[in-house]
Amino acid sequence: MSYFDLSNSKLKIIAAITLTAVGSEILYYALKKFRRIPKAEVENEVLFFPDKGIACPAYFERKSGCNQSVCSYIHEVTNLRRVIIRLREAKKTLDVCIFILTCQEIGQEIVNLKRNGVKIRVIVDYEMANSTGSRIELFRRHGIPIRTKKVLQLMHHKFAIIDGECLICGSFNWTMQAVTANWENVIITSEPGLVQPFAIEFQRLWDEFSCLT
């Protein structure tokens, strides 16, 4: 019997395994080439709070910069500003699911996005919606839909999804206490395998919760 006689059952099995392996490798490289977001384009960023101060609005927002001889703000990019820069990237949608939101800077950025035509949805904890300094009433005045649920349990999530493609999540509540005093973390990623589960969870809660009245 020839060594390469494929009538031999063992050789048939070896040939099948070899063809399967080759086919799988071809499929792998084809998927890698045509996948929607190549791995090299995935962006990941990790931020840690507290910030050592608040970034000077004039220094970053005005062409002339800050003209104060003594400025109480800091003239460097803070982690709060990095979060705001990411929020400004929203072109179509912004879904926010947050336990509490009292940070004026973030609140104003969300209102600005609404004015620029971005579709915004906000889910918030029922008790925290009307807490001191909450930005939720501001959102309502600008026509941003808010949903919540009156239950004993906390709606303790802290995440946002930008254009369905970028996730901001972590321990960080959107408050000045978290910005300047607490030890907090934020992960920003465009990894689809992480963004998609959060998008699904947001939609599930949006469907389950009711409009804030």
- Residues marked as catalytic: 156, 158, 163
Residues 82, 70: Cα–Cα separation, whole Å: 24
Q: What is the DSSP string of 56-121?
A: -HHHHHSTT----SS-SSBSS--HHHHHHHHHTT-SSEEEEEES-B--HHHHHHHHHHHHTT-EEE
Please give the biggest Cα pair distance in the chain. 95
Q: 71 phi and psi, to 5 degrees?
A: -110, 130
Closest by CA to 158, choosing from 83, 85, 92, is 83
